[in-house]
Copies of this chain bind each other. A is one copy, B any other.
Amino acid sequence: MSEPLDLAGQAAPVDPAGQAAPVDLAGEARRLDAADVLAALRERFVLDDVTYLDGNSLGALPAHVPARVDDVVRRQWGELRIRSWEESGWWTAPERIGDRIAPLVGAAAGQIVVGDSTSVNVFKALVAAVRMAREDGEAGEHGEAGEAGEAGEAGGGSGPVRDEILVDATTFPTDGYIAESAARMTGCALRPVTPAEVPGALGDRTAAVLLNHVDYRTGRLHDLPALTRAVQASGAYAVWDLCHSAGALPVGLDEHGVDLAVGCTYKYLNGGPGSPAYLYVRRDLQPRFDSPLPGWNSHAEPFGMRSAYAPASGAVRGRVGTPDILSLLALEAALDVWDEAGVSVAAVRAKSLALTDFFLRCVGAYVPPGRVESVTPAAHAERGSQVALRCDDSGEVMKRLIEGGVVGDFRAPDVLRFGFTPLYVGFADVERAARVLARTLG
């Protein structure tokens, strides 16, 4: 999956006299920054002399967020106390903030709810997906009787038994661990395959497929529309993890008919450390969404204090327990950045690709040949908003880079990871990062 950098490429044209002319990348960065339609947004964030290319791990602080959090703490909690559940809109925050995220991932309102961690949401989505696949099988026309089934549920259906979950073999580990638990608890086998292998691995026993839109390590962007269609054609349900794509590129959940999706909010959405994740359930699937975590917040009448569970309608059905208000409302404030004039996912994507292109060029120009290789695809259609470079001593290199004022991160076993958040990263940052990297590697 790795692609050696084309070091003799665009960065060093040959002049008429046959000499390699030094390209003025710093000057080009200045010109690109001057033409950047999103450049003014940088002032909305708290930044300093550090070149911060780790927004794909923890987004930078939007400058207006501290005052908003302070108001939540001092006035909403401190003065209004319990009244804030209604008067400050605490109770409805999970679905209200879900509706703020919706346009960023191409979803109409009413399909996203915010709360819990990504891991917990993966569990909800995968178990619900398996249950829907089984329900389809029971309602289907196939003749063979089922022999498996979730413990405690009617096992036999009229369709073939859906008893396999496919999971991206290169996934961020937590998705794999949670998929293993979801499989165990629903009587499924778990089969790790690469996204490329998914179409060939699908069959009439496949219940659900857990995929990443962008690979956390390599930055590879997977083909969400085509993979979703393939999964659905097999009668299974696709669950997409959007952690590394939401806020950086178009997702098109509704357009591509995605079944279920989850994502975190502390990367490109800048929600703050450990801010709650979200769950998307396509509108027509909501009445069938059968949560393995049916907490009281997802009840049709949460204050009715009923002993029997009756699920709410809509996205609210994905809620579980009492929402984490401080983190939720910090996230809500952070999302205001997207309301600025001119900010759109399309503009963000265009700048993201320009940033990663430029970074690859600068690295090609500055770094000695063969010292690193890019594991991020060169093709735009296959690239997220990060560049991952492999080198043998990457752990040590990243330490020295950080000392040199360029913050990326290291991902075991051998990857230097650089994330480019178009809302606040500029082209001068990119040029500087490559320059410091070259010096560090030199």
Interface residues of A (CB under 8 A from B): 46, 48, 50, 52, 54, 57-58, 60-61, 65-66, 69-70, 73-74, 76-79, 81-85, 90, 116-120, 123, 127, 148-153, 169, 172-174, 176-178, 180-181, 183-188, 192, 217, 264, 266, 272-277, 291-297, 299, 303-307, 309, 320-328, 330, 407, 409, 411-413
Contacts and interface: CB of A to CB of B under 8 A. Distances in A.
Question: Most B CB atoms within 10 A — which of A77, A84, A85, A217?
Answer: A77
Contacts of A304: 412
B52 A81 contact: yes
Given A152-B187, A177-B295, A321-B118, A65 B73 contact: yes
A186 B58 contact: no
15 contacts: A58-B77, A58-B82, A61-B78, A66-B73, A69-B326, A116-B117, A119-B320, A123-B292, A127-B185, A148-B151, A152-B184, A152-B186, A172-B305, A177-B294, A181-B293
Given A117-B295, A117-B324, A152-B185, 6 more contacts: A117-B320, A119-B293, A151-B187, A181-B291, A181-B294, A274-B328
A305 B50 CA distance: 27
A184 B153 contact: yes
Contacts of A69: 69-70, 73, 326
Contacts of A188: 152
A320 B73 contact: no
A54 to B, nearest CB: 5
B173 A299 contact: yes
Contact of A82 (B57, B177, B412): B57
A79 B48 contact: yes
Nearest to A266: B322
A292 to B, nearest CB: 5
Contacts of A177: 294-296, 299, 309
A82 B409 contact: yes
A140 to B, nearest CB: 21
B57 A295 contact: no
A326 B412 contact: no
A50 B58 CA distance: 40
A214 to B, nearest CB: 16
Contacts of A321: 116-120, 174, 277
A303 B120 contact: no
Nearest to A48: B79
Contacts of A82: 54, 57-58, 407, 409
A192 B309 CA distance: 13
A263 B296 CA distance: 15
Contact of A118 (B73, B83, B322): B322
A218 to B, nearest CB: 12
Contact of A309 (B50, B77, B180, B330): B180
A76 B76 CA distance: 23
Contacts of A325: 272-274, 327
Instruction: Identify which of A70, A149, A320 gathers the most chain B CB atoms within 10 Å of its CB.
Output: A320
Given A295-B119, A322-B117, A272 B305 contact: no
Given A46-B79, A274-B322, A412 B181 contact: no
